[in-house]
Amino acid sequence: MYYVVTGACGFIGANLVKALNERGVTDIIAVDNLKSADKFLNLTDCEIADYLDKQEFLDLVEHGQLDGGVEAILHQGACSDTMETDGRYMMANNFRYSQTLLDFCMEQEIPLLYASSASVYGGGGMFREERDYEAPLNVYGYSKFLFDQVVRRRIGPDMASADSQVAGFRYFNVYGPREQHKGRMASVAFHHFNQYRADGKVRLFEGHAGYGNGEQRRDFVYVGDVARVNMDFLETRASGIFNLGTGRAQSFNELAAATVNACRALEGKPAQSVAELVAQGIIEYIPFPDALKGKYQSYTEADLGQLRRAGYQEEFATVEQGVAEYVKWLSR
């Protein structure tokens, strides 16, 4: 019996493969689309049983050739570019693909753990897993929202009618190892690390929509915590749609300072405050892009009530803790 990880060469997918390995699981089928071939680097320190191209995998699923051979699917495969404007591509890659795997898992009565997104909440200020608060601002968010709606209709809002586990995780702002291939879509922490190493300073957006310079706030969650939640749910078999963040919003200024100070620590230099870093020009502010106006979440903070009620009680790393660990990994 195999564990299937889709998007296995990607950021979160590769971290899930590694987390399975750390639990002694190596019977893993890694599924991805290696059109961007450099993503393979994320799996060079992982153990898998087989690799399948996404379309090859779908063909096997649709022709029944994997029936009875799969233990669980951890579905991370998706187009995660929030600036993608080709709606047909987004819906085929995110929505229809997910529907096919939901059908397969329910027929086989095996767990489906899948990646949703905090983008389903749009620009609202309430981040609770309820329909009233869901209003995505872009087609990426809509593709995730629409699949969540399918899950709710198929197995009921209380998930009581599911014959197999179905758990969707609304990832907030995830950062950490194995995201280098994402380019401009990589986390702000990744870009700040590279900016500081190249130029000795980092750049943040100026104030917008009532927020001061660098004071937009997000729920930044370390990928190691994301992997731990997924592994925990494989054991508890809880079903539902769950926010996966830290439950605390921190500013981009705090993130920038954490990144710079983690780099300074490796250089044997003392930590400095945001104000000190701004005064020295180490943090600088650039105009807020016109292309993001009306499509940008200036504030996110996960309501963790559903996750806690499902039994997950572990604490999540703060930005300062997670970024310090990440910077050590990036500096290897």
Q: What is the DSSP string of 200-252?
A: S-EEEEPPBTTB-TT--EE-EEEHHHHHHHHHHHHHH---EEEEES-S--EEH
Residue at token pair 């987390």: 19
Q: Which helix (H) or strand (E) holds 30?
A: strand 28-32
Rounded CA-CA distance 178/52 in Å is 20
Rounded CA-CA distance 297/127 in Å is 12
Backbone angles phi, psi at 8, to 5 degrees: -65, -25
Rounded CA-CA distance 216/191 in Å is 17
Backbone angles phi, psi at 153, to 5 degrees: -70, -35
Pick the catalytic residue from 54, 182, 201, 295: 182
- 182 tagged catalytic: yes
3-state SS, residue 161? coil
Pick the catalytic residue from 97, 114, 121, 140: 140
Give catalytic residues, as residue numbers: 140, 182
